[in-house]
Chains A and B, each alone.
Chain A
Amino acid sequence: MTSLTSPTPTDRPAPTDADRIARLRDAAYRIRRYALDMGEVQGQGYIGQALGVADVLAVLFGDVLRFRPHDPEWPQRDRFLLSIGHYAIAAYAAFAEAGIIPAEELETYGSDDSRLPMSAMASYTPGMEISGGSLGHGLGVATGMALGLRHLGNPARVVNLLSDGELDEGSTWEAAMSCAHHGLSNVLAVVDVNGLQADGPTAGVLRIDPLEDKWRAFGWAVRRVDGNDVAALVAAADELTADPTAPSVLLCDTRPGRGVPMLETREKAHFLRVEEHEWQTARDQLLAGDITTSTPIGERSPTIQEGHTR
């Protein structure tokens, strides 16, 4: 989809892939920065996951999803389903980056009467399509939305962000089988494969390998990429969304804490602990880091205002 209110693409030079990737890396930087700010407000939050999934969200909201930031009920919008409710902190950061909620509102994160509760719920937040939290629900609802949209002749796509831990749930595989059976090429599942779940490393809690083979055997088109490599994410998303004939899954290997070396190297835990005095250090490390871009924050491009190219 082209930009909705800004000049049409013919009025300006077509963006190069390099421009596109630089823009998305900038977005990922801001998503991380927003997440750190929110984490500091509450002194907690799933900050490890937020930093790890920031590049994925930057690509989804900046390059894949069609939506109108100021019209979250637009019937033709692509549906973004966050079944992993504890990733709310990351989703709010992405929503702010996409202009769906004002960035100033992020400081209310987790506070009483805020629209931004710590676990994502549809009734609280514009743009939040479903209430997550009880894992294994997103892909089933996505199945019904995709069936319904197709039935209604609506070309919108359904994108479900899952975690690798969520693949423990049998309901996820009921839905995976159903999507393939019904030929739901309008479904894109994106799995944050960070190798962690509540009781420890996924490999020790409940083995999910061979991950690609499983999805393939269930009838899905599969791509597996480094989920912290924006260029790789863009290329894989382009491939999967070009002309899908089956449901697609993008398996994204991510590193919790990515972008903040102090946190990225900390012992991996589902709930990454950050001390009160560490938040500023984390922001400093994020700014100093060159994993996203070397451009200092003050010179970064403004937040995307209205839609974007798919």
Chain B
Amino acid sequence: MTTAAPKKRLTTSAMIASFADADQRTTPAPFGHALAALAEERPEIVGLSADLAKYTDMHVFRSAHPDRFFQMGMAEQVLLGAAAGMAEVGLVPFASTYSVFATRRAYDFLCLDIAEPGLNVNVVGGLPGLTTGYGPSHQATEDLAILRGCPNLTIVDPCDSVDIEAAVPALAEHDGPTYLRLLRGSVPTVLDEYDYRFELGKAAELRTGRDVLLISTGLMTMRALQAAARLEADHVDVAVLHVPTIKPLDREAIVRAARSDRLVLTCENHTVVGGLGEAVATSLALAGVATRFGQIGLPDEFLAAGALPTLHDRYGLSTDAVVARIKAELDDRAPWPADPSPPSA
């Protein structure tokens, strides 16, 4: 057997991939470390996982507090049912799995066992939106759409390690059910460069700008900030409003920021159906704000497998794609793409 020259591997559709840029500052497993630290102060905190402790950074908590970690096996329905039972007897559980399994497979249990009784159970979903190139089985492109209709549920989509480290104690403190879109592994550290502090239920303006307002959540806030910095060179002034809490939505801050003649674009790591974009559109319509508005998000499709950078470019989440989209919107002032054809005379 001859040995072929190794081919250069350019891309990968591996399940676990990083969306951090090559030169980006990162923090290892911020969720796991934040939970382990919080548990030092709060003995009622427990952790559960459904055979994914290692891949949701729960292993950090498991190592620090082995007697307070409960392995539930690859059984997401009992994961969430049992988390509810633990909360019923006074514990404060954090239950981790992948977002697709927490929302698609175990929704009835999240809804009826956890949210309906208003229990302090914190569901932690890994691989939200397009953060794996593994294909639709693991890409939770519609988790926010599934969960936004669930009463009582607080939903957080953190941007980076700074958000996660602050969100974990805030979610434990919040006396009700929550869902955290987990960023795991080496997580970018971005927001410590801004005058910003995570506050549950609050949006925060990270930078101001006269021409464009980006209303962003999750890792797309990082991309929005990068795009804004890039557009400075073209003398385009871009503001970024970070909305880490998807529900309850900070409608007041959103409407206040959007009530201007700037181009308003929402940015989310989620399908354009049922996520931040539609939530913002509803808020603006209800407030009578008729500004130029568009959505940056994933298409209403089952996505391809592939390397994350390839896919983020293809589906419009990369910084390049965001910059290009903003420029196109600014070049195309009228008519709105969404305008119906004018009625014929």
Contact = CB atoms under 8 A, between A and B. Distances in A.
Contact of A141 (B46, B72, B73, B84): B84
B85 A147 contact: yes
Given A122-B117, A131-B117, A147-B70, A141 B89 contact: no
Interface residues of B, number: 28
A75 to B, nearest CB: 8
B113 interface: yes
Contacts of B87: 144
Given A131-B116, A178-B73, A148 B88 contact: yes
A129 interface: yes
Q: For the complex, would chain A's binding face be called helix, strand, loop or mixed by DSSP majority?
A: helix
Contact of A142 (B68, B85, B109): B85
B78 A148 contact: no
Contact of A137 (B75, B90, B112): B112
Contacts of A154: 89
A134 B90 CA distance: 24
A139 B78 CA distance: 8
A151 to B, nearest CB: 7
B112 A129 contact: no
B81 A137 contact: yes
Contacts of B89: 144-145, 148-149, 152, 154
Interface in A126-156: 129-131, 133-134, 136-137, 139-149, 151-152, 154
A167 to B, nearest CB: 14
Given A137-B109, A137-B113, A151 B85 contact: no
A129 to B, nearest CB: 7
A171 interface: yes
A191 B85 CA distance: 20
B82 interface: yes
Contacts of A27: none
Nearest to A150: B89
B205 interface: no
Contact of B82 (A123, A133, A141, A170): A141
B108 A174 contact: no
A148 B85 contact: yes
B52 interface: no
Contacts of B75: 174, 177-178
A266 interface: no
Given A141-B88, A152-B90, A154-B89, A134 B112 contact: yes
In the A-B complex, the 4 residue pairs with the smallest Cβ-Cβ separation, listed nearest first, are A144-B85, A140-B81, A144-B82, A145-B85
Interface of B: 46, 67-68, 70, 72-73, 75, 77-78, 80-91, 93, 108-109, 112-113, 116-117
11 contacts: A122-B117, A137-B108, A140-B81, A140-B84, A140-B109, A141-B113, A145-B89, A147-B85, A154-B89, A174-B77, A175-B77
Interface of A: 75, 79, 122-123, 129-131, 133-134, 136-137, 139-149, 151-152, 154, 158, 170-171, 174-175, 177-178, 181-182
Given A143-B82, A147-B85, 17 more contacts: A122-B117, A123-B117, A130-B88, A131-B117, A134-B108, A137-B109, A140-B77, A140-B81, A140-B113, A142-B85, A144-B83, A144-B89, A148-B89, A158-B85, A175-B78, A177-B73, A178-B78
